[in-house]
Amino acid sequence: MFKNINQYITIASVFCALLWSCSEDLGNYDYLPINEIEFQDIGTEYIALLGEPFEITPTLKYTKDLEANESRYTYEWVAYREGNVLPGDQRWDLATTKNLQLESLTLAPADYNVRYLVTDSETGVQWSTTFKLKVDSSIYEGWMLMSDVNGAARLDMVSKIADEYTPIYDVLAYAGSSLTLEGAPVNVYCYDYDPQFYGIYVTTEGTGTTKINPDSFDWETEYYVSFEMLSDVPTDFKADFIKRTGGNESLMYKDGNFYYYLRIYQYRYSVPVNIMDGESAVFEAAPFVGSGGVIIGTNILYDNDNKRFVRQPWAAQKCGEMPQGTLFDYNTGKDLLYMDRTGYNGGEVFAILKDPADGKVFLARMSNDYGTVNQLYYEEVPAEIAADMAQAEHFAVNPDFGYVFYNVGSKVYEYDFGIKQSKLMIDKGAEEITLLKFEELSYFANRLVVTSYDSGSANGTMELYEVPPVNGDLGDPLQSYTGFGKIVSISYRLR
């Protein structure tokens, strides 16, 4: 027992002696300042383009290493992607040199935090600074335009770059795409075909209908729309057009038939849906869709054979009869000149019909959300206006005021169904109007898009106009872009 006590006393004495010697030694050291680095000529925010050179040349000020012996230091440039991304996409090592000099920026378009680290290899001390980097792409977002250039198809783009819109002519060649368009142009159409693969569809007479890669614009054989079909069709199948009818949902039109795609149920384009439930023969469908617009919306089609409106309920692969009308008979007996859904009044389908017997023209408006169809308006267009409207080449309906725009030759008119008056809005003189449109699901949904072509100078133009209330004049275009061919189709590539 006494032996253990003596051991404890001895250990305690040694411990106290050590503490005393340490306290006696305080202040005996000379603390010298270490080498510090000050970062200069590095901004707090940068915007760069995918595939373009990107360079930062910083100035480093050293407090001790006055001669700036760069061999004494190591360098790192590391980018961290913001947002919820996969682990493999979170960190990107950019360079291990003093200056950041990238011949081609390969970071995917997104927002990043970039950290620049400098390590003193003699002391092991590390310094760093950070900055924001926004990576854009010159083909990331914007208007896609299908043009006819001397009888051949060309895909152009009015690209949104750093919040400014810039034309890119022959964007497939610009992007180095392996796709070469053949034959005359048909159309271009963009919609959310798949959550993981945004659909940019291009169609020409020689190429058929195919998607292109939404980020690089490159192409693979599997992008043909025929790979989305169950039917036995040629690989280069050519659709007349594709129309989005909801989220990851669409109708494809070809030679009087509609085919249905619905991702959530894994429906692929197969047999025509323009067949009445309980019948065996398809009817010839008019090339227009009054899309439902929301989930479980009802698409409205038009039966050319029997001159009647029919409905295709959500997820249905056949059509059914319309409910009893309160304003007009859905079995109209008339020719359908135009039909489309617009954002007017929360979402309506506008349809323009012509009586083949007497030439009278009628405007019908219907709602078709949430599985129901209701008639909202049906009136005859005044005879003096109907004569021109029946000859119109293009129609478009403004989503704010419900004005119906149409053109006859080089003149664009606005029809106000409330007062039943039409007003000349644009006169392009010798130029040809090739398209009128209000682009759905874009920032420009309420802007009238007018494309025209001057055959004398072989120059195509796209213009965007603001539509004022109370039938005000359009005024000068808000945006105007030239240098295209004869524009036959446009669609906005969203992000």
The 3 state secondary structure assigned to 363-379 is EEEEECCCCCCEEEEEE
Of 27-31, 422-426, 452-456, 482-486, give the lowest mean pLDDT range.
Answer: 27-31
Question: DSSP alpha helices (H): ranges in 57-96?
Answer: none
What's the pLDDT band for 2 if we cut at 50, 70, 90?
very low
Asked if residue 347 lies in contact with residue 299, where contact means CB atoms within 8 angstroms, the answer is: no
Asked if residue 414 lies in contact with residue 404, where contact means CB atoms within 8 angstroms, the answer is: yes
Q: Rounded to an integer, what distance in angstroms lies between the CA atom of residue 475 and that of residue 467?
A: 9
What number is the average pLDDT over the span 151-176? 94
Q: Name the nearest CA neighbour of 286 among 269, 311, 303.
A: 303
- Report the percentage of the chain scoring pLDDT > 70: 92
Cα-to-chain-centroid distance, residue 217:
13
Q: Name the nearest CA neighbour of 388 among 422, 358, 416.
A: 422
Question: CA separation (Å) from 50 to 79, 90, 94, 190?
Answer: 14, 17, 14, 21
What number is the average pLDDT over the span 33-48? 89
Question: DSSP alpha helices (H): ranges in 26-180?
Answer: 171-174
What's the pLDDT band for 197 if we cut at 50, 70, 90?
very high
Q: Name the nearest CA neighbour of 335 among 301, 376, 312, 302.
A: 302
Examine the pLDDT at 9 and tell me if it is beyond 50: no
Examine the pLDDT at 79 and tell me if it is beyond 50: yes
Question: CA separation (Å) from 346 to 341, 343, 369, 459?
Answer: 11, 6, 10, 38
* Total residue length of the chain: 495
- The reported pLDDT for the residue numbered 45 is 97
- Would you identify the CATH topology of the domain 37-136? Immunoglobulin-like (2.60.40)
Of 48-52, 363-367, 403-407, 411-415, give the lowest mean pLDDT range.
Answer: 48-52
What's the pLDDT band for 6 if we cut at 50, 70, 90?
very low
Q: Rounded to an integer, what distance in angstroms lies between the CA atom of residue 244 and that of residue 224?
A: 18
Segment 46-58, tens digit of pLDDT: 999 887 899 999 9
For 323-351, b/e burial (b = at least 16 CB within 10 A) is eebeebebebebbbbbbbbbbbeebbbbb
Question: CA separation (Å) from 357 to 304, 334, 360?
Answer: 16, 9, 8
What's the pLDDT band for 3 if we cut at 50, 70, 90?
very low
Examine the pLDDT at 16 and tell me if it is beyond 50: no
Examine the pLDDT at 22 and tell me if it is beyond 60: no
Of 9-23, 88-102, 295-309, give the lowest mean pLDDT range.
Answer: 9-23
Of 108-122, 227-241, 309-323, give the lowest mean pLDDT range.
Answer: 108-122
Q: How many CB atoms lie within 10 A of CB 222?
A: 11
Q: Name the nearest CA neighbour of 147 among 428, 433, 434, 463.
A: 434
What number is the average pLDDT over the span 178-191? 97
Which tokens sit at 136?
């854009």
Which tokens sit at 114?
């970039």
Both ends of the chain: CA-CA distance in Å?
Answer: 82
What number is the average pLDDT over the span 149-159? 97
Burial class (CB in 10 A: 0-12, 13-18, 19+), 158: buried
Q: Rounded to an integer, what distance in angstroms lies between the CA atom of residue 403 and that of residue 415?
A: 6
Segment 262-293, tens digit of pLDDT: 999 999 999 999 999 999 999 999 999 999 97
Examine the pLDDT at 476 and tell me if it is beyond 70: yes
What's the pLDDT band for 325 if we cut at 50, 70, 90?
very high
Examine the pLDDT at 88 and tell me if it is beyond 90: no
- The reported pLDDT for the residue numbered 67 is 66
Examine the pLDDT at 14 and tell me if it is beyond 70: no
